[in-house]
Amino acid sequence: MTPWLAVLALVDATWLYLALCRGLFWVPTVRLAPERSRTDWPSVAIVVPARDEEEVLHRTLPRLLSVDYPGEARVVLVDDRSRDGTGALARSLSSGRHSLPLSIVEGTEPPRGWTGKVWAMEQGRRAAGAVEYLLLTDADIDHSPASLRRLVSHAEANRLDMASLMAKLRVVNRWERLVVPAFVYFFAELYPFRWVNRPSGRTAAAAGGCILVRRTALERAGAFESVRDAVIDDVALGRALKRSDSSVWLGFADDVSSVRAYDRLADLWHMVARSAFTQLRYSATLLVGTVLGLLLAFVVPIGAVVGGAVTGNLAVCLMGAAAWLVMAVTYTPMLVYCGVSPLSAFGLPFTACLYAAMTIDSARRHWWGSGVAWKGRSYAAS
């Protein structure tokens, strides 16, 4: 076997492994169970950390305050030193007639060693009091009237300490259609949801837009103090909970979605680049391995198809086509879930190259001293 065929055999084997042996990460069927009728509903405080979120909050907060929940529930919004009209908007809604009451916490600057969002959530936790559950949700997340009820029902029925949903991200313009489904695809590949949900498994994660957590389990895990410096706070929280023997669950959402718009490629680029190198633990070795891995898995198959066709090497062409086909097959269910044409599956190699470039740029920002920057705050590597 020539070296080129050996490389292609490795690529084909890699895609067979990903398709069959990585928890079927690419099949988005891990969903909430049907809601069960109950007579006793636990108390819930919905904590919303909000920094400069006026643009989205005017859409999501009224919907959140109108959630239909049979038990005791209230919303605690932490205005995290916003520089726009976030606080004023929240205060204008607090006096209205809604299903749930709204409390507003005027956030303080994070203490040394804390990231801003985690500190905001900690302030919300303290203000929530002795409720049974906390629902941690971002300001851009739109909840259906039944979303809280379904989450609590699922957690109670399955005796979970944490139930988290990967909110449906907005997919409207061409850049969102190109980048967003791949974001969900790669996240699920890194943290296969079925593996996360195994009580005996080591894989742990959460999706920060929607995390329902039992208050006692959160405190047993060290509350937010245990993840105070985390930039990727949702995954860190999922790990902290699982390390403390909490039962965690992560699934795909049906009625929880993000309204945040990414109108330009630059917006999506910043979303990925701000934390990609953090995900690699600021390691140059992992960076090189990740970029080479992306190129090997996603670009080599196309090169083999083109090169094999040009040179008349049928074996090379077929082996490259096989890898490209498996790649497209695994990407198709995620595209359908996101509402994007399945034909886009064959363009995944181009998107993977974009992600490789974003990851390199994330490392560049770190090495050049800008670090992780988000909404006016910068964080150095911890």
3-state secondary structure labels for all residues of the chain: CCHHHHHHHHHHHHHHHHHHHCCCCCCCCCCCCCCCCCCCCCCEEEEEEECCCHHHHHHHHHHHHCCCCCCCEEEEEEECCCCCCHHHHHHHHHCCCCCCCEEEEECCCCCCCCCHHHHHHHHHHHHHCCCCEEEEECCCEEECCCHHHHHHHHHHHCCCCEEEEEEECCCCCHHHHHHHHHHHHHHHHHCCHHHHCCCCCCCCCCCCCEEEEEHHHHHHCCHHHHHCCCCCHHHHHHHHHHHCCCCEEEEEEEEEEECCCCCCHHHHHHHHHHHHHHHCCCCHHHHHHHHHHHHHHHHHHHHHHHHHHHHCCHHHHHHHHHHHHHHHHHHHHHHHHHCCCHHHHHHHHHHHHHHHHHHHHHHHHHHCCCCEEECCEEECCC
Domain ranges of the chain: 3-24+267-364, 44-157+200-246
Angle, vertex CA 147, rays to CA 141 and CA 148, nearest 5? 100
pLDDT reported for residue 370: 61
Residues of the chain with pLDDT under 70: 1, 370-382
Q: How far apart are CA 178 and CA 340, in angstroms?
A: 9
Class of the domain covering 44-157+200-246: alpha beta
Of the candidates 203, 189, 281, the residue with the CA atom closest to the CA atom of residue 242 = 203
Tell me if the pTM is above 0.85.
yes
